[in-house]
Amino acid sequence: MVEDYLVASDYVLIGIYFMLVLAVGLWSTFRPNRNSAAGYFLAGKDMHWIPVGASIFASNVGAPMFIGLAGTAAASGFAVAIYEWHSIYLLIALGWVFVPVYVASGAFTMPEYLKKRFGGKRLRIYLSSLALVLYVLTKISSEIYSGAIFMRQLLGWNLYLCVVTILAVTAFYTIAGGLAAVIYTDTLQTVILLFGAFILTVMSFIEVGGWEQMMRKYSMAAANYTLANPENYSCGLPRTDFNHIWRDAETGDIPWPGAAIGLTTLGLWVWCTDQIMVQRCLSAKDMSHAKGGSVLAACLKILPFFLWIIPGMISRILFPNEIACADPDKCEAVCGNKAGCTNIAYPLLVLKKMPDGLRGLMLAALLAALMSSLTSIFNSASSMFTMDIWRRFRRHAKESELMIVGRVAILVLIGISILWIPILEEAQSGQLWSYLQAISSYTAPPWCWVFLLALFWKRTTEQGAFWGLMISLLVGAIRMAMEFVYTAPYCGSKEEDTRPDFIKKVHFLHFAIILSVVSIVSTVGISLITKPRPPEKLRRVTWWTRHDPLDPEETDSEDEMAEEEEPVTKNKKKSGIGRKAYNWICGISEEPKPKLTAEEKAFIKAKMTSLAENKFSKRVANIAAVTVATVTAFLLGFFY
């Protein structure tokens, strides 16, 4: 049935897309610095602002944007735009506030930064381990699941066949090329992504009759049986406040206090402290390019409102019986999910409204989104496991060993994520976007405040940060467990809502505010009664000390993971073809590395930690940041 949707020209476009991505990915694997940790994990710290910004955007605009963002817009209207436009200000904060401190500290990863800031081992290992678990539970599995929904609708393939096809290509060039391959392919995929989504948006607007007609028709977009019997199926009717972003604090599906305050803690975690986003800015050749990349990504974040939210709403108008189903049995017949079918809003729009040939383009756009996000997650997770966990047990691991471990870690994460997909399919309850944001609300705020206090309050101690995390994450885990135990009744069912008031009446974004208070009070309180870190150990690791000319002092136990020099062997036999292929995939070079002098090592370290900026570039970046912030403020006010 669904196989008939694709014609020969669609498959040609898909084939061209795969060849382009593989060509770019393979080209990037021949970069000269890919056989070092800095080359593999930070792209040699030589990236221009355009690929940095494109990669930040593409890393975030994954398959959940097509499925989750468009689906939530179909369900409730404009409000979900706050997630996109709110992030614009946080991206500016990333480039202007957070990255300067990370660069000055010389950290490769966020757990490594915490180790430099606080000392000790607990925070670094704990953040690395928790981040890897969350990558599996939310990011990797949701990307794969979202892509499978789209491909199953479009191709009619088995769920796991879709998964294996995508992962085979994605994992190959990520494992081989490292961050450079990810960033260069992200740049290509961003262009494909925006082009395909733009075409569908224009066609959707034409189909629905323009902006005014869209607003009028959406207000009445409901299934036939809902309109015939609105009392029994009231949950199938559009929200009366669908055309507002800022919604009532009690009755709003995204209440304004939670959007303004609670969402900030989630956003700071995602945009300013998550390895995936920060790693791109750390790969920039200097601070000007890091800021330019973050402000370019901020500009691009204006677009999802027009490219996914509006089409999601139009899909409900054109297919109300499917997208706005309000009866559990009818929903299950449409999409196999009793909780609702808004997740298929965007795929259905592509299937039914895109002309022959362009469906293949949109599938390529989805694959671009899916693969760019997966590659980013894989590379960042690999970085954290290798640099923060593996080196904890292998303190003097050689460069070649780190390269191999980083690649194997990706394969293990893929396997675990595939096993989680069936559980995610049962747990996401109709709106994938809400599931992902709720999980973040229960886990992200404590980490957000640990990083903020680390940057701006020098009195924060390791004990305060660690036990503050323990206390607040315990509170978050209790709420998350209760969410899984006490589920909301399906739309249109006769079941009584027996959830406790703490679940039913406290929105997850409001809970993020509560969790933030718990985190701040516990971290500050414990820090005040424990011994502060000496000033000489806080050089270049806080906002106030980022320009300190001296490096922080480290005890032997804190500087315990120095890299061991690779042995230089003479008269080595020539490797065979198999060995050469293995070395190429794993980024291992058998050529002896030149012995660096102390002056050369100092020069490299100075480059990695320099905060220098070109005056003209700095001025342009500042003007661009102010401009995009002003435009966003106007949009938030216009669609209040």
Domains, the chain, ordered by start: 2-547+596-638 (1.20.1730.10)
Please say if the pLDDT value at position 138 is more than 50: yes
Q: How many CA atoms lie within 13 A of 234 on its CB side?
A: 4
> pLDDT-based confidence at 601, cuts 50/70/90?
low
Short-list 25, 29, 27, CA closest to 585? 29
Please say if the pLDDT value at position 550 is more than 80: yes
Share of the chain above pLDDT 70, in %: 76
Angle between helices 159-177 and 399-427 (to 10 degrees): 160
Angle subtended at Cα 359 by Cα 358 and Cα 363, rounded to the nearest 5 degrees = 115
pLDDT in tens, 420-474: 766 666 554 445 666 777 888 888 899 899 999 999 999 999 999 999 999 998 9
Name the token pair of 84. 């996109």
The neighbouring-strand residues paired with 247 are 255
Please say if the pLDDT value at position 584 is more than 50: no
Q: How far is CA 251 from the centre of its chain?
A: 29
Cα–Cα distance for residue pair 183/58, rounded to 1 Å: 9
Name the token pair of 40. 């593999």
Cα–Cα distance for residue pair 114/491, rounded to 1 Å: 45
- Whether the Cβ atoms of residue 521 and residue 359 lie closer than 8 Å to each other: no
- The least confident of 142-151, 406-415, 424-433, 567-576 is 567-576
What per-residue string of b and e applies to 563-573 under the rule 16 or more CB within 10 Å gives b? Answer: eeeeeeeeeee
Token pair 């994450």 is found at: 473
**CB-based contacts of 249: which residues, under 8 Å, 6+ apart?**
255, 256, 257
- Whether the Cβ atoms of residue 552 and residue 116 lie closer than 8 Å to each other: yes
Q: What is the mean pLDDT of residues 137-157?
A: 72
Please say if the pLDDT value at position 556 is more than 50: no
In terms of pLDDT, which residue wins out, 490 or 381? 381
Angle between helices 432-456 and 122-134 (to 10 degrees): 160
198 CB burial (10 A radius; 0-12, 13-18, 19+): middle
- The least confident of 75-79, 208-212, 396-400, 554-558 is 554-558
Q: What is the mean pLDDT of residues 612-618?
A: 86
Please say if the pLDDT value at position 216 is more than 80: yes
pLDDT value of residue 586: 47
> pLDDT-based confidence at 301, cuts 50/70/90?
very high
Q: What is the mean pLDDT of residues 407-430?
A: 69
SS3 309: helix
Q: What is the CA radius of gyration of the chain?
A: 25
Share of the chain above pLDDT 90, in %: 25
Quote the mean pLDDT of the chain.
Answer: 79
SS3 397: coil
Please say if the pLDDT value at position 564 is more than 70: no
- Whether the Cβ atoms of residue 54 and residue 186 lie closer than 8 Å to each other: yes
In the chain the first and final C-alpha atoms are separated, in Å, by: 43
Q: What is the mean pLDDT of residues 153-167?
A: 70
Q: What is the mean pLDDT of residues 541-551?
A: 90
Name the token pair of 218. 């959406």
